Amino acid sequence: MEAKKIIGLGSPLLDIQAEVPAEFLEKYGLTLNNTYFAEEKHLPLYEELINIPTHSHVPGGSALNTVRLSRWMAQAGQDQVKFIGCVGKKDKFANMLIEVTNSDGVTTLFDEQDQPTGKCGVLLCNKDRCLVPLIGAAAHLSEAYVDQHIEDIKTATVLFSEVYFLYPRAELTKKIYQIASESGVNTCLTLSSVNAVSDRFNEILAVLPYVDYLFGNEDEVEQFAKNLKFEGDLPSVMQQIAGYEKHGQRERVVVCTQGKKPTLIAKKTEVITVEVQLVDVSKIVDTNSAGDSFCGGFIAELLNGPDLVKCAKAGNYSASQTIQHEGSTIPKYAPEKTW
C-alpha cells in the first residue's frame, strides 16, 4: 500500500537568529520586543547575521514549521511529507533554506522567482528579541508551478496551509483547496493570528467551504466568530463555525487550543474536550511555536484516521516537546507515543 502523505502550502522563510549588541539594533533603527517588516535600509542585516559565527538558521514560516513537525511526529519516510512554496532564483539564502528543510525530512517543491528569498532576522539581545521579516519571493508562488505539482496535491492524505498565505495568494489558495477537497484530501487551515483573521476575513470565507479542519487559539476563533456575527460562548461559536457552508464529503471540525487549558474540538452537533498534559514550568524554554507544533502533531495522527481525541493528544504532545526547545527546533529523539 502506498504511504500516506502530507503536503504543506505556504510562505517558506529562513529564520536567522543571532545574539547582537545594542549598537547593532541602533544601526538599523530597531528596538527590542517589536517586529519590523524589512525596508530597503534593513536588507544588509541578513548578510551581517549569517556572518556572525554563533548564528543559527532554521526553516521558518508558520505552515512550514507545522509540516516539519508533522514529519517528526509521523516519523515519515522520504517524500511522504512535501512543502510547496517559492524562493529566490540563484539565491544563497534559498540554498540554505532548501538544505535545512530537506535535513528535517521534508521534500521541497519550491518555485523560483526573481525576488529575494523570504527570511526573518531574529535578533537576540539581553534575553529579549526583535524580529525583522522579509516575505520576498514567498509571496510570488506561481499558478503554473502549482499546476506542475497538482498530482502531489490530489494524492495527498492531508493538505495544510495558513491564513498568512491568503495575503499574497488568496485566489490560488482557494483553487488548491477546491481541487484537494474534490479529490478527498483532508484539508486543514490554521487561522494564523487575530490580525490575520480580520485582515483576510473575506478571503477566509472564500476558502472555508473547502476546509475540513480549521485550527486556531481561543483569541483567533473568538475573533473569527465575531466577524461572522456569531454569538454565544466559545464552544457554541465553534459549533456555528463548524456548521458554516461546507462542500466535500466531510463535516467541518474546528479545533481550538487554549494554552494549558483543555483543547476544544467542535463539530456541528458536539464539542469534545481534551485535557492538556502540563509541562513543568522550569522546563519551558520558548512557547512561540506551540500552535504550529500542535497542528503538526494533529495532522501527523490524522494520517492514521480521524480519531479526534488521539489527534488532539498527539498535537498536545508535539507542542509539549517543542516548548522545551528554542523556536521550532525539531527534537533529536523520536516521539514517545502516549495516546
Map out the domains of the chain as residue ranges: 6-10+61-115+137-322
User: CA-CA distance, 117 to 107, in Å (whole number)?
Assistant: 17
pLDDT at 1 (0 to 100)? 61
Give yes or no for a contact between 141 and 111, defined as CB atoms under 8 angstroms apart: yes
Number of Cβ within a 10 Å radius of residue 226: 13
Spans in the chain with pLDDT lower than 50: none
**In the chain, how long is the greatest CA-to-CA distance?**
58
Pairing of strands 261-266, 253-258: antiparallel
Q: Which of 15, 104, 212, 292 is catalytic?
A: 292
Secondary structure (DSSP) of 31-64: -TT-B----GGGTHHHHHHHTSTT-EEEEESHHH
3-state secondary structure of 258: strand
Instruction: Output the nine-digit C-alpha cell for 207.
Output: 476558502
User: CA-CA distance, 137 to 172, in Å (whole number)?
Assistant: 15
Element (H, E) at 301: helix 290-302
pLDDT at 107 (0 to 100)? 98
Is residue 114 flagged as an active site residue? no
Which residue type, as a one-letter code, is found at position 181? S
pLDDT at 262 (0 to 100)? 98
The 10s digit of each residue's pLDDT in 56-67 is 999 999 999 999
pLDDT at 338 (0 to 100)? 86
Instruction: Output the nine-digit C-alpha cell for 91.
Output: 539565491
pLDDT at 287 (0 to 100)? 82
- For residue 281, the number of C-alpha atoms closer than 13 Å in the C-beta half-sphere is 1
User: CA-CA distance, 248 to 183, in Å (whole number)?
Assistant: 9
Give yes or no for a contact between 323 and 305, defined as CB atoms under 8 angstroms apart: no
pLDDT at 126 (0 to 100)? 87
pLDDT at 48 (0 to 100)? 97
pLDDT at 125 (0 to 100)? 92
pLDDT at 3 (0 to 100)? 83
Cα four-point dihedral sign 289, 292, 294, 299: negative
Q: Please give the CATH topology (third level) of the domain spanning 6-10+61-115+137-322.
A: UDP-N-acetylmuramoyl-L-alanine:D-glutamate ligase (3.40.1190)
Give yes or no for a contact between 47 and 28, defined as CB atoms under 8 angstroms apart: no
